[in-house]
Amino acid sequence: MQWIPEYKADVPRVERFNFLARFSHWGHTVTFLLCLFTGLALFLSDAGWLAAIFGGYAGAGLVHRIAAVGLTIILAIGMVAGFKGIIAWFQDILRFGVNDIMFIVKFPLEFFGFPVKVPPQTRFNGGEKGNSMVTPTMVILLVLSGYIMWFPAIFPGGLVRVAYWTHDIAMVLGTVMVSMHAYLGSFHPGSGESFWGMWKGTVRADWAKHHHAIWYEETYGDKKDAE
Ligand code: HEM
Ligand code: HEM
């Protein structure tokens, strides 16, 4: 398996994510994973070994709630302080078109090593646009259902039961998405450079030109001045 590609400081680089986006992304990653592992300790029967890592079932429940509050705060900071960035993100998702569909159709072939020519992509490619729609929706469902489960006395009993189902289904779908996403954003040959965009803020200019040609042209290329 290939590890994350070497970070090259001595080649032209372009900014991909600002500090706020990176802080928010890694903040919700840590809190999401803490919620996931503590949640699994409560969800799976016979996961005493997992609960033991957090000091038992009561400890897992406590860490789950602390991480949940951390996740909520980080999401709130990201949404308020990064409002302009969120709008730009939505606008890019709404540009979903033929090139994105072609990306989604061709990507599995590239994933398994077949040589394919992927059409030019905007800031987020077709797969990332899909991830941008599904994963945040699951996180929002987890947050809303989670608070209903936390304070059952103030909600109708039927809603609390629905919240448990919602929490479990959103956990499974969110975890499947995050697992694929984490691999593609780190070890996957070809897309690994994107890790540096999220870690240090910049990616190699040649990589950006190749993987996100439309975004590169509009942000750093000839089309920048045309706008
Ligand atoms: C604001 C965010 C969240 C809140 C307020 C929240 C709250 C809760 C609460 C109150 C429980 C019941 C705990 C107990 O019985 O002691 C719970 C269970 C659970 N949570 Fe969360 N949670 C949140 C986010 C997450 C996330 C992000 C995940 C996974 C990715 C997750 C996965 C689980 C699982 C698997 C359970 C066990 C459910 C069951 O037993 O059916 N939670 N959560
Ligand atoms: C666990 C390790 C993770 C790694 C290595 C990782 C890596 C990355 C990288 C490199 C990007 C930037 C991709 C680009 O250049 O456009 C990114 C974006 C993103 N990440 Fe993560 N991430 C992780 C966890 C998570 C988690 C837990 C969530 C949400 C619960 C999440 C949600 C997103 C979203 C919505 C985007 C923007 C859309 C996209 O690029 O797919 N990530 N991530």
* Residue 211 CB contacts under 8 Å (≥ 6 apart), including other chains: 121, 125, 191, 193, 194
Separation of CA 64 and ligand 1 centre (Å)? 7
Looking at the CA of 29, which ligand is closest?
2
The share of the chain scoring above pLDDT 70, in percent, equals: 98
Quick: pLDDT tens for 71-94.
999 999 999 999 999 999 999 999
Atom of ligand 2 nearest to the CA of 199: 10
Looking at the CA of 198, which ligand is closest?
2
Looking at the CA of 141, which ligand is closest?
1
Separation of CA 65 and ligand 1 centre (Å)? 8
Query: Exposure pattern of 83-119 as b/e (b: 16+ CB <10 Å)?
Result: eebbeebeebbeebeebbebbeebbeebbeeeeeebb
Quick: pLDDT tens for 116-158.
899 999 999 999 999 999 999 999 999 999 999 999 999 999 9
Q: Is the CB of 125 under 6 A from ligand 2?
A: no
Q: Is the CB of 136 under 6 A from ligand 2?
A: yes
Q: Is the CB of 139 under 6 A from ligand 2?
A: yes
Looking at the CA of 134, which ligand is closest?
2
Name the residue at shortest CA distance from atom 35 of ligand 2.
132
Cα separations in angstroms, 131 against 63, 69, 134, 179, 185: 27, 23, 5, 11, 12
Torsion sign, CA atoms 56, 59, 63, 69: positive
Contacts of residues 14-17 at CB distance under 8 Å and 24 or more positions apart, as own/partner, are 14/202, 14/203, 14/205, 14/208, 14/216, 14/219, 14/220, 15/201, 15/202, 16/194, 16/197, 16/198, 16/201, 16/202, 16/203, 16/208, 17/197, 17/198, 17/201
Q: How confident is the model at residue 227 (pLDDT cuts 50, 70, 90)?
A: low
Question: Taking the C-alpha atoms of 139, 145, 151 and 155 in order, what is their torsion angle to the nearest 10 degrees?
Answer: 150
Residue 15 is inside which H or E element, if any? strand 13-15
SS3 159: helix
Quick: pLDDT tens for 175-211.
999 999 999 999 888 788 999 999 999 999 999 999 9
Name the residue at shortest CA distance from atom 34 of ligand 2.
132
User: Can you give the pLDDT at residue 111?
Assistant: 85
Q: CB of 4 within 8 A of CB of 195?
A: yes
Separation of CA 188 and ligand 1 centre (Å)? 30
Name the residue at shortest CA distance from atom 39 of ligand 2.
128
Q: How confident is the model at residue 2 (pLDDT cuts 50, 70, 90)?
A: low
Separation of CA 126 and ligand 1 centre (Å)? 30
Q: Is the CB of 186 under 6 A from ligand 2?
A: yes
Name the residue at shortest CA distance from atom 8 of ligand 1.
146
Residue 170 predicted with pLDDT over 90: yes
Atom of ligand 2 nearest to the CA of 203: 15
